[in-house]
Amino acid sequence: MNQTEKLMARREAILLEVSGIEQMRRGSVMEQYVETVRADGSKGRRGPYFLYTFKEKKKTISRRITRSDLVPVYRSQIESFRRFTELVSELTAIGEKLGDLSIAQKHDTKKTKNSRLRRKSR
């Protein structure tokens, strides 16, 4: 299997994996705690409160996740988005390599044709 075939096989595998991603979400989930002072003067901590944050139009948007059973869902969707961006990055790199190989093959073909023509004309 030559390099082009290997790249095309990996490209197909990436596209198949991307097509299997159904839910994704940008951002992250953070745990937030609230420091409190009790009636006796001692300090305490309440929480965790889960906070979903993401960027939108250069601003950070934060939303409290009120149901703790949804935290794993959010985290799974965020992980899916991170995997998606990794795959797209790899797909871009493969596309560039395939483009380079295509240009190199055309350039080699032209050299070969030109050298053959020169040899014949002598």
pLDDT of residue 86: 97
61 has which bridge partners? Answer: 54
At 12-32, the pLDDT tens digits run: 999 999 999 999 999 999 999
Average pLDDT, the chain: 90
- How crowded is residue 31: how many other Cβ atoms within 10 Å of its Cβ? 10
Contacts of 7 (CB under 8 A, 6+ apart): 94, 97, 98, 101
Domain, as residue range, for 8: 3-114
pLDDT for 120 equals 52
Q: Is residue 37 part of a domain?
A: yes
C-alpha distances in Å from residue 25, one per residue of 55, 61, 91, 118, 121: 11, 13, 20, 60, 64
Q: How many domains is the chain partitioned into structurally?
A: 1
Determine, yes or no, domain membership for 12.
yes
Which residue ranges in the chain fall short of pLDDT 70? 109-122
Q: Report whether 46 contacts 33 (CB < 8 A).
A: yes
- Asked if residue 119 is part of any domain, the answer here is no
pLDDT score for 107: 75
> What was the pLDDT predicted at 115?
53
